[in-house]
Structure 1
Amino acid sequence: MRKIVIGAAQMGPNQKADSRETIVARMLALLEEAARKGCTLVVYPELALTTFFPRWYIEDPAEIDRWFESEMPNAATQPLFDKARELQVAISFGYAELTADGHHFNSQILTDRDGNIVAKYRKIHLPGHSEWDDERAFQHLEKRYFEPGDLGFPVWRTQDAVIGMLICNDRRWPEAYRVMGLQGVELVILGYNTPSVNSQNSAEGEEQRLYHSELSMTAAAYQNSTWVVGVAKAGDEDGHPLMGGSIIVDPNGYVVARAKTDGDELLVHECDMDLSVFGKETIFDFARHRRIEHYGLITSQTGVVRKV
């Protein structure tokens, strides 16, 4: 059996005033706890190093760039990489990436157990809007600060498993999982920062949003016969609540671990990658059952075109 003991390292809120070093210290505490519990992979949330800054409308480019990392690892995060190498635990976390040629992405990296970065993903399905919106209860300006990811939906073989990554809103789009599923993905790891209330529909509160978050991940796990690990940054960030609900889902769509708090909390589960095999060889044997001659609209058309 190919088992990975995974730690889903949910994080509580990062406040606007928190330094990178303060936040990394919390990540280190979760990493050390994970190592004590036998984990060989720890997954942290989206934008793990900062508060969720897209809730603010910022016009000064220099103020925007202060939330981004121009290299990884850097001085603030190097202790995390060093400790991961010492403990022989692979890590994955999200951050705002500023490239050498000036591009801004919402990114996630994965290391091996020696602390070497072996994979990078850039968020593709950016939610929200790009300009101030008076109709919203609060702003969600990811389209202002980030470009859509340019790396597609790759997978990597590491820790004797086929692993892919997604970020936050990506988890709601079945196409993302299916592209990885067609590459034999066995484990999808993702982080998210999701407001507890819908800014455009106040009736949709935390209970409904947790349900939809879990639904998107459990359905995708089942439909692609893959493990899915979804990790939140949660709690009250500068007066803006983020929901928790971190989960580990098996390839049959069952939740095997679920967070109980909105703070720093570690979920641990021994995940057998071979559990993905049965579904891939039976009901979701794509080679036998998919009918791509009827799927053309998925890649030829973006919005709805009504035929009747």
Structure 2
Amino acid sequence: MTRRIGLAACQMGPVQSGTSRAEVVGRLIAMLERAAAGGAALAVFPELAFSTFFPRSEIADETLLDSFYEDGFPNVETAPLLYAARRLNIGFAIGFAELIRDGGEARRFNSMALVDRSGTLRGLYRKIHVPGSEAPEPGVTVHLERRYFAPGDLGFPVFDLDGVRVGLALCNDRRWPETYRMLCLNGAEVVLIGYNTPLYLDEAPALAHLRMFHNHLPMQAGAYQNTLWVAAAAKAGLEDGQALIGGSCIIAPSGEMAALAISLQDEVIVHCADLDLIAACRRVNFDFARYRRPDQYRRIAEA
């Protein structure tokens, strides 16, 4: 019997500064309803979905900074999204800023939570490839993630969700081959990715025409080389003066684009993913147990 799962990528239009959590959660629930109506059993939302992408700004006020973080997930403000998942019988992954207070120390991570169809939190991932800098650099698009987030400390976990092996990744993670390889070796069949990506980079204007190509390229390569389904959801449109690229997509283990968002607004794309295609693609080129020889790699490196 063919194994299939309905996947949804829930792209968000801009979330401007000052937008309340309640308003954002209402938008997220509306998209989750559209995903479920379209036949999805598992959806993905963008990175830092509950607020504007605040690392584009210098924030000196500690109280204001803390307002962008969740001091627990779920909490009172975000719990309605989990109730909706249970009502709709759909799981989801969502990116958020995580604040952990350990005694007098605050630890901050760019995180993604995985929730199952009963509305239960099933897993957590913390972004490993944290880009940007701790202070603005002349001539460089302001991107201060390294100021506001520590690198993740949970590795690349894979979770069993109703018999489907699911891995998570965030934004810059998608550009690195080890993200997909580690998730694949840990048994992932589906990888859910959330991202916020500027349309323009001040330091690389000559590459502006390649931004969407470079967005999709590593995800398609990662899906193909590791025989994975990839569903990726973006923040899109003009957010607090910065244009974000969108381009949310669902990619097959063949590397083919199975579904693609066409707007810069809230948009839900759905695809019925054939999980048996993973085995077919693996038999053709990427039977790791048969062809992958890490022992030979080590000998070459030591020679």
Q: TM-score range by the shorter chain?
A: over 0.9
RMSD of the TM alignment (CA)?
1.7
Q: Distance in 2 between matches of 1:224 and 1:69?
A: 33
C-alpha deviations, 1:264-286, integer Å up to 9, x for none? 00001001211111223442111
Q: TM-score, normalised by structure 1?
A: 0.93
* Superposition pairs of residues 116-195 of structure 1, within 5 angstroms: 116-136=120-140, 138-195=141-198
Secondary structure at the aligned position of 2:276 is classed as helix
C-alpha deviations, 1:171-211, integer Å up to 9, x for none? 00001110111122111100000000123112222x41110
Report the counterpart of residue 304 of structure 1 in structure 2.
none
The one-letter amino acid paired with 2:52 is T
The question of whether the paired residues in 2 share the 8 Å contact of 1:186 and 1:276 is answered with: yes
C-alpha deviations, 1:17-73, integer Å up to 9, x for none? 211111111111111111222211111100000000000012233222111000111
Which structure 1 segments of 5+ residues have no match?
301-308
Report the counterpart of residue 291 of structure 1 in structure 2.
293
C-alpha deviations, 1:226-247, integer Å up to 9, x for none? 1011110011011111101111
Q: Distance in 1 between matches of 2:187 and 2:74?
A: 29
Q: Distance in 1 between matches of 2:189 and 2:283?
A: 13
Which structure 2 segments of 5+ residues have no match?
none
Report the counterpart of residue 8 of structure 2 in structure 1.
7
Q: How big is the shift at 1:130? A: 0.7
The one-letter amino acid paired with 1:283 is N
Report the counterpart of residue 219 of structure 2 in structure 1.
217
Report the counterpart of residue 103 of structure 1 in structure 2.
107
The one-letter amino acid paired with 2:222 is A
Report the counterpart of residue 45 of structure 2 in structure 1.
44
The one-letter amino acid paired with 1:108 is M
Distance change in 2, residues 1:210/1:131 (3 Å): same
Report the counterpart of residue 90 of structure 2 in structure 1.
89
Report the counterpart of residue 118 of structure 2 in structure 1.
114
Runs of 4+ deviating beyond 6 Å: none
Q: TM-score, normalised by structure 2?
A: 0.94
Q: Distance in 2 between matches of 1:95 and 1:128?
A: 18
Distance change in 2, residues 1:53/1:270 (3 Å): same
Report the counterpart of residue 243 of structure 2 in structure 1.
241
Distance change in 2, residues 1:294/1:50 (3 Å): farther
Distance change in 2, residues 1:296/1:145 (3 Å): farther
The one-letter amino acid paired with 1:9 is C
Report the counterpart of residue 282 of structure 2 in structure 1.
280
Number of residue-to-residue matches in the alignment: 297
Q: How big is the shift at 1:221? A: 0.4
The question of whether the paired residues in 1 share the 8 Å contact of 2:8 and 2:231 is answered with: no
Q: Distance in 2 between matches of 1:296 and 1:146?
A: 34
